[in-house]
Structure 1
Amino acid sequence: MVHHRQQGLLQDVSDGASGCVGGGAEQPQASLQYQSGSSFYHTCGATLISSQWVVTAAHCIGSRTYRVYLGKHNLKNNNEAGSIAISPARIFVHPNWDSYRILNDIALIKLSSPVKLSDTIKPACLPNSGEVLPHGAPCYVTGWGRISTGGPLADILQQALLPVVGHSTCSRSDWWGSLVTTNMICAGGDGLLSSCNGDSGGPLNCQNSDGSWDVHGVVSFGSSMGCNYPKKPSVFTRVSAYMSWINNVMTSN
């Protein structure tokens, strides 16, 4: 699996050894789209983690027909250079996904064929198993979600800086309380920026102490009171808590 990293800010910093992008926001970002009639519609974000595997949120997956659109920047541009839509071969929702308590909100999609990696399509780097980010660590959420509460979906890929909120703070009763577990990451919550509806399943890119970047989170849930509600940071599935499951699914399928 992908653990090799290289220093860089949130821009294209690829690691030749593993081929993953340690900070590039766009190349690993995918749009998970469902079919309705003869058209496909963006429903969630997702992240390419190898040439044939994508990670997203379990709550994004239903009984619909899906496709994974890679190399996208503008969702409205159907002829975007370097982009490709691929159908899933299989979808693996975490066996302990609990939709009531929003636990283990993670799923893997095996693409029907490996994607050709390019300037516009590269897999993200993943964290080491068990790695926990400190309070205040800088992270970026990316996606085509709503830019404001109740607003329209974005056509152009957006990004927002969301610092990590440590579990001891995020689990306080006036924050998220017992809804957040140690298998989740909270980020944001300053009342200014957050991930919004439509960003579900997308990546939280975080900077490690050595300056490199990994996808530490998968967008899971936010506040029903609005996108940028104070003390209600965006909540992400903590990828480093699921590395053994990710590796097991990928190696046995």
Structure 2
Amino acid sequence: MELALVLLLGVTAVCGCGVPSYPPNTNRVVNGEEARRYSWPWQISLETFFPTCGGTLIAPNWVMTAAHCITFHTYRVVLAEHDMNKDEGPEQSLRVEKMIIHPKWNDNCPSCGNDIALLKLQTSAVLNDKVQLACLPQQGSSLSHNYPCYVTGWGRLYSGGPRAITLQQALLPVVEHSVCSQSDWWGSSAKTTIVCAGGDSKSACHGDSGGPLNCQGRDGKWYVEGVTSFVDGRGCNTPKRPTMFTRVASFIPWISEVRIDSVIHKSIKNKSCKV
């Protein structure tokens, strides 16, 4: 039986990533709450004429988001955003130069996986105490059952509810593959290239797409282990239907290849311009 799905529209670790100048408030276990300002400094807002998705700054000129967030519109990325209704000063608005969707992404089959895209920015972000890089996990690494991770974004506060004005965070414990792939859970839709997290009252929702699943490593750094992808068509908080995230650890070779190819292409182009 096919499951109804709803897309949530609306490299290795390097030194200097995953350590916010303003540590996030992770003391309370709640469904969702306003995040501490600039405590997720790699979170970006992806916008056309209005905010559409989230994303993660993984290099000064590269953003990672969901493939289903990308259309043919011209995008900009806003960093150091917190309150959508206010210009608070530290925001950086950067135009997107190139959009690269994973070649195996299929718009007609969200549960097939590969819901990941990379955006190259026209100019590099200025890194400071409010704009920083997320760490990427090691290739092939996995998370244990109930591992505490946080989803962040400006999506709807609940199914059919209003969109968040300020950046929200919610604790989403990981649901390991052996559980998430059971027939009364996500079944065959739970691919090994997908991370399941949350469930019941804990969930991402429409508008959170493309944003990070933030998980703190034993080294104290925060790693973006997932890219927010989809929820069950019956609602964001459907029992035994945790939020589905693209598993970043499965795509490290592709991410590295895209970025290396971009550097090589730029080098060749620059050389060809010399007289």
TM-score by length of 1: 0.88
1:163 aligns to what?
Answer: 173
Q: 8 Å contact 1:216–1:240 — kept in the other structure?
A: yes
In 2, the alpha carbon distance for the partners of 1:173 and 1:187 equals 17
Amino acid of the structure 2 residue aligned with 1:175: W
Residue 93 of structure 2: which of 78, 81, 85 is its match?
Answer: 85
Deviations 1:132-191 (A, max 9, x none): 1111111000000000111111110000000000001001111111012000000001x1
Which secondary structure does the structure 1 equivalent of 2:166 belong to? coil
Aligned length: 236
Q: How is 1:94-109 mapped onto 2 (pairs within 5 angstroms)?
A: 94-102=102-110, 103-109=113-119
In 1, the alpha carbon distance for the partners of 2:191 and 2:231 equals 14
Matched, 1:116 2:126: yes
1:234 aligns to what?
Answer: 243
Residue 257 of structure 2: which of 212, 232, 248 is its match?
Answer: 248
1:28 aligns to what?
Answer: 42
1:214 aligns to what?
Answer: 223
1:68 aligns to what?
Answer: 77
In structure 2, stretches of 5+ residues that fail to align are 1-10, 24-37, 263-275
Q: CA deviation at 1:100?
A: 2.0
Write 1 or 2 for the structure with the bigger share of helix.
Answer: 2
- CA distance 1:9–1:160, change in 2 (3 Å): farther
Q: CA deviation at 1:12?
A: 3.8
Matched, 1:185 2:195: yes
In 2, the alpha carbon distance for the partners of 1:10 and 1:183 equals 27
In structure 1, stretches of 5+ residues that fail to align are 14-23, 35-39
Aligned-CA RMSD value: 1.9
Q: 8 Å contact 1:86–1:113 — kept in the other structure?
A: yes
Q: CA deviation at 1:101?
A: 2.0
Greater RCO (Cα-Cα under 8 Å, separation 6 or more): 2
Amino acid of the structure 2 residue aligned with 1:249: V
Deviations 1:31-85 (A, max 9, x none): 0011xxxxx21100000001000000000001112111111011111x2211111
Amino acid of the structure 2 residue aligned with 1:194: S
Amino acid of the structure 1 residue aligned with 2:198: G
In 2, the alpha carbon distance for the partners of 1:6 and 1:112 equals 22
- CA distance 1:125–1:110, change in 2 (3 Å): same
Which secondary structure does the structure 1 equivalent of 2:232 belong to? coil
Q: CA deviation at 1:238?
A: 0.2
- CA distance 1:25–1:166, change in 2 (3 Å): farther
Identity score, percent:
49
1:148 aligns to what?
Answer: 158
Q: 8 Å contact 2:104–2:114 — kept in the other structure?
A: yes
Q: 8 Å contact 1:5–1:212 — kept in the other structure?
A: no
Q: 8 Å contact 1:32–1:69 — kept in the other structure?
A: yes
Q: CA deviation at 1:221?
A: 0.3
TM-score by length of 2: 0.81
Deviations 1:6-50 (A, max 9, x none): 99998746xxxxxxxxxx74210000011xxxxx21100000001
- CA distance 1:133–1:3, change in 2 (3 Å): same
Q: Which of the pair has more CA radius of gyration?
A: 2
Amino acid of the structure 1 residue aligned with 2:242: P
Matched, 1:56 2:65: yes
In 1, the alpha carbon distance for the partners of 2:205 and 2:188 equals 22
Which secondary structure does the structure 2 equivalent of 1:246 belong to? helix
